[in-house]
Amino acid sequence: MVNVWLIYHSKTGTCKQVCEDIASKFKDNYELRADEVKKIKPKDISNNPPDLLIVGSRITFDKPDRTISKFVQKIGKELNSPIEKAATYYTHMTPWDDSKAKMSEILKENNVAKNILPEHLAFKIQDVGKTKGPPEPGQEPKIEEFVKKVQEFISR
């Protein structure tokens, strides 16, 4: 079975919820593990690399969150050879410029993954003046579409 490892960092639970929604769609035909990066070490991944890594990050100050970015950089330092494939998703509140904020570049620059799915999932929460908000209407189908693209990417 194909191994998928999903890592994320979540402060108020949105990135975690999206992780769980993605994970539930992988459970039948894939071996999937999902972890908050605060609870594991980069070595856990570099010692046992998956076939595909999914990285979920909240956006802070127009960039992927620092905690997960640093974690990904450390994986790159510790891996013997890059992971075959990776995909990325974000949670965000404002319409940030997603052509600039790129976890895929962090993955590439740090030799974490050879092939990165060009499309990412951007899951938007409503701006209610706080860092936690309900999902903007219309976000749920994006998860389904993203999972479909990742699964096609795996089988290529």
Using CB under 6 A, which of the segments 36-44, 59-67, 75-83, 145-153 binds ligand FMN? 59-67
> According to DSSP H, which parts of the chain are helical?
14-24, 42-46, 66-78, 103-109, 140-155
> Does residue 96 bind ligand FMN (CB under 6 A)?
yes
| Closer by beta carbon to ligand FMN, 91 or else 104 | 91
60/73 with CB nearer ligand FMN: 60
Nearest approach in angstroms of CB 125 to ligand FMN is 6
Residues 23-52 that bind ligand FMN (CB under 6 A): none
Q: Rank residues 142 and 151 by Cβ distance to ligand FMN and give the closer one.
A: 142
CB contact at 8 A, 6 and 30: no
Give yes or no for residue 92 binding ligand FMN (CB under 6 A). yes
Beta bridge partners of 56: 8, 89
Give the nearest distance from C-beta 47 to ligand FMN in angstroms. 27
SS3 77: helix
CA 124 – CA 9 distance, rounded (Å): 16
The count of C-alpha atoms lying within 13 angstroms of the C-alpha of 147, restricted to the half-sphere facing its C-beta, is 20
Q: Torsions phi, psi of 74, nearest 5?
A: -65, -40
**Chain contacts with ligand FMN (rule: CB under 6 A):** 10-16, 58-62, 91-94, 96, 131-132
